[in-house]
Amino acid sequence: MHIPAPVTLVTGSARGLGFEIAQHFQDRGDKVHVVWRSDEARGAELYEMFDARTHRCDLADPEQADALVERIFQIDGKLDHVVHCVGDYMEAPLEDTELEDWQALLGSNLMTAVHLTNALREPMREQEFGSLVFLTCAGVSNYKARRNCAAYAAAKSALHSFCRSLAIQEAPHGIRVNTIAPGLVPHGAAHPATLDPALQQALPMGRAGTLEEVAQAALWLSSAHSSYAVGVELCVSGGLLM
Ligand SMILES: NC(=O)c1ccc[n+]([C@@H]2O[C@H](COP(=O)([O-])OP(=O)(O)OC[C@H]3O[C@@H](n4cnc5c(N)ncnc54)[C@H](OP(=O)(O)O)[C@@H]3O)[C@@H](O)[C@H]2O)c1
């Protein structure tokens, strides 16, 4: 019997965690749709790597999110898994956090997820199957006070809360919603704080995480192996919360 390959959308996939995750899903055999926003040359590279399933999209714009999902259904007729990796970071004490910073951080971390979800809710419900994974941040979602990144912490906490509401609403429709909370994961474009030896050594595991370790968590949450996991925040953070 021929089983069609899963169709997966990974956002924030031009670089960093999103790119690593997209590669892992492609290696699993999925048809992977990737999204780039600003770097046209990178978009051309992704086009070659992901069999033309490449989309330019600013997910801060709800119309672009709608068009992205519509195009994926036109191309592949379904969408099994989504891993949403968009989410800007910023460090500043509260007194230096401007109104535009609040809007930008909430826009990037929360509203892109809202727009994407609004776009895919109906077609995925019709399938009565699917998984959505969102990237939060270990220690930020409701647990730990932050001195230097309040807007990011508030935005990720809002995303965490949104995802739990989404999980409870979509579970009866066969759509599982979960989150991954990475800790420190350095890569070429990550914030320099991810390379801070003092921060790394303060973790119980004494080191930063790897892109591969987060990608494996995304694969698990988007597989039959996690078929009873709903509303979970999977911390992949070297023990940050202990
Ligand atoms: N790396 C870590 O240590 C760490 C730790 C905890 C949580 N996380 C979370 O994990 C996720 C991925 O992290 P990362 O380090 O890989 O992030 P990253 O290096 O900042 O990459 C994010 C990607 O998202 C894209 N993007 C941003 N805003 C967008 C928008 N409005 N529409 C479409 N694409 C947009 C960016 O595209 P452009 O290139 O066009 O800007 C970029 O390619 C984020 O949610 C982050 O908060 C990361």
- Of ligand 1's listed atoms, the one at least distance from the Cα of 14 is 43
Domains parsed from the chain with CATH numbers: 7-236 (3.40.50.720)
Predicted confidence at residue 86, as pLDDT, reads 98
Q: Can you give the pTM of this predicted structure? A: 0.97
- Of ligand 1's listed atoms, the one at least distance from the Cα of 11 is 34
Task: Answer whether residue 1 shows pLDDT above 90.
Answer: no
The CB of 61 under 6 Å from ligand 1? The reply is: no
Output the average pLDDT for the chain.
96
By most ligand atoms within 8 Å of CB, the mutation choice from 9, 10, 11, 17 for ligand 1 is: 17
Predicted confidence at residue 145, as pLDDT, reads 82
- Of ligand 1's listed atoms, the one at least distance from the Cα of 18 is 16
Q: 13: how many CB neighbours lie within 10 A of its CB?
A: 27
The CB of 58 under 6 Å from ligand 1? The reply is: yes
Predicted confidence at residue 48, as pLDDT, reads 97
